[in-house]
Amino acid sequence: MNIPTSQALFEKANQFIPGGVNSPVRAFKAVGGTPLFIKSAKGPYIFDEDGNRYLELINSWGPMILGHGHELVEKAVSDAVQHSFSFGAPTRREVEMAERIVGMVPSVEKVRMVNSGTEATMSAIRVARGFTGRDKIIKFEGCYHGHADSFLIAAGSGAVTFGTPDSPGVPKGVAQDTLTAPYNNLEAVQLLVDANPGQIAAIIIEPVVGNMGCVLPETGFLEGLRSICDKEGIIYIFDEVMTGFRLSKGGAQERFGVLPDMTTLGKIIGGGMPVGAYGGKEEIMNYVSPAGPVYQAGTLSGNPIAMAAGLAMLDYLDTHQEIYLQLDQSGVKLAQGFRASMEKLGLNYTVNQIGSMYTLFFTDQVVRDFPSAKSSDLGLYGKYFHAMLNRGIYLGASQFESMFLSTALEDSHLEEIMRANEESLKEILA
């Protein structure tokens, strides 16, 4: 792969930006090499500054579920910019957006817009604490809920990729209020709850994990947490920043039929613009200022351009639910293709997949929690990543990420990915 422009830009970026990037995983540190500087993208493809073309399996880490540059989202944005970019005052589109979210996400009765997934989870936790009058929260090892202090404890995604799942700078006092349990382990959660009676404000979970690679909840796990929360008066929070509008139009909660008390959203909800949201039961959300005492605000929250993009995206998803069948079929096709290739090559690596999310783990263990995810051979993942990149396939630059399919991937693209996968496995194991 010829990438002199990316190399020059990265060198310059390192002079002015810490690590040369504005979000750590972009730096390719876990897989080695120079990050690609992206110039444009359309449909299933992205193009780097040197004019190389790649098939997209990242899709901006999830938002671009319809592929890049969908015409309805583009039109909504170009219409919206005619009327200025921000007012700092209420707008019609925010009402439409809230109504649309409440209509699509089963457990959400009221919702507040913010500007990122991090803001959504950070605010949801504050509301849960304010509502219950309790301080402690439970999160799961390897789950990532953005970079707010309370969540950088045993965190997944870039935090684990760079060996700092517990970041310096998080005050001890904050860290001690975050309790962690292994994913898919109800007993461990019950033990934590028993040891801290009346003190747990919330349990927050990725209902399907994307941030230690793709890890699925085992049967009964999400339901079991629901009953623990019910018994103990704990607020159950689904962090659906990745899974929302992706695993179904109503997210993981609709797919699994388990309803949380609060939900955090991001990524797809902005159609590619910086948007997040948190919502939930009316009695809880009425604690949010100015309706209630828990303060949370944002100069650019509900930004008109971002709302236009997000609304166009959600409108499309709500009225074209057949796309979820297409995405499921694409996911299954890839997972089956990968498994068939591995059988042919005498390999026994693990493919976790649900709908349009998947991860190929370089381990023969069943990957069901953080330790099993970490049993992957990370060096091998790095080689695989580059072998795929050289064949024009753009993957997540870490083993601890999920891939995200889009509706722009047609059968011929899926065949190309499967071919590249088999060739890459052969190459790195030769």
Sites of contact with ligand PLP (CB under 6 A): 61, 116-118, 121, 144-146, 157, 206, 210-211, 239, 241-242, 266, 276
3-state DSSP assignment of residue 326: helix
Residue 186 CB neighbours (<10 A)? 17
**Residue carrying the six token digits 């919330």:** 202
Per DSSP (E only), the strands in 164-253 are 178-181, 200-205, 235-239
239 is catalytic: yes
Nearer to ligand PLP, 285 or 357 (CB): 357
- Cα–Cα distance measured from residue 366 to residue 213, given in angstroms and rounded to the nearest whole number: 13
Query: Residue 239 CB, nearest distance to ligand PLP (Å)?
Result: 5
| CB-based contact 274:85 (threshold 8 Å) | no
3-state helix, strand, coil in the chain (%, to 5): 45, 15, 40
Please identify, using beta-carbon distances, which residue of 215 and 229 lies nearer to ligand PLP. Answer: 215
- Which residue is catalytic, options 144, 278, 381, 394? 144
Q: How far is CA 380 from the centre of its chain?
A: 24
Q: What is the dihedral of CA 248, 249, 251, 252, to 10 degrees?
A: -30
Q: How far is the CB of 304 from ligand PLP (least distance, A)?
A: 19
Q: What are phi and psi for residue 348, nearest 5 degrees?
A: -130, 40
Name which of 132 and 398 has its Cβ closer to ligand PLP.
398
What are the two backbone dihedrals, phi and then psi, of residue 180, each rounded to the nearest 5 degrees? -125, 145
Backbone angles phi, psi at 135, to 5 degrees: -105, -30
Residue with smaller CB distance to ligand PLP, 232 or 401? 401
Say whether 267 is catalytic: yes
- Between 206 and 328, whose beta carbon lies closer to ligand PLP? 206
Q: Please, what is the minimum distance in Å from the beta carbon of residue 4 to ligand PLP?
A: 30
144 is catalytic: yes
Instruction: Exactly one of 239, 261, 328, 369 is catalytic; name it.
Output: 239
Query: Helix crossing, 71-80 with 304-319: angle to 10°?
Result: 150
Q: Which residue is nearest to ligand PLP (CB)?
A: 117
Inter-residue long-range contacts of 386-391, CB under 8 Å, 24+ positions, other chains counted: 386/31, 386/32, 386/33, 387/423, 387/424, 387/427, 387/428, 388/420, 388/421, 388/424, 389/1, 389/54, 390/1, 391/420, 391/423, 391/424
Instruction: Supply the minimum distance, in Å, between the C-beta of residue 101 and ligand PLP.
Output: 16
Minimum gap (Å) between residue 84 Cβ and ligand PLP: 25
Closer CB to ligand PLP, residue 13 or residue 143?
143
* Catalytically active residues, by annotation: 144, 239, 267
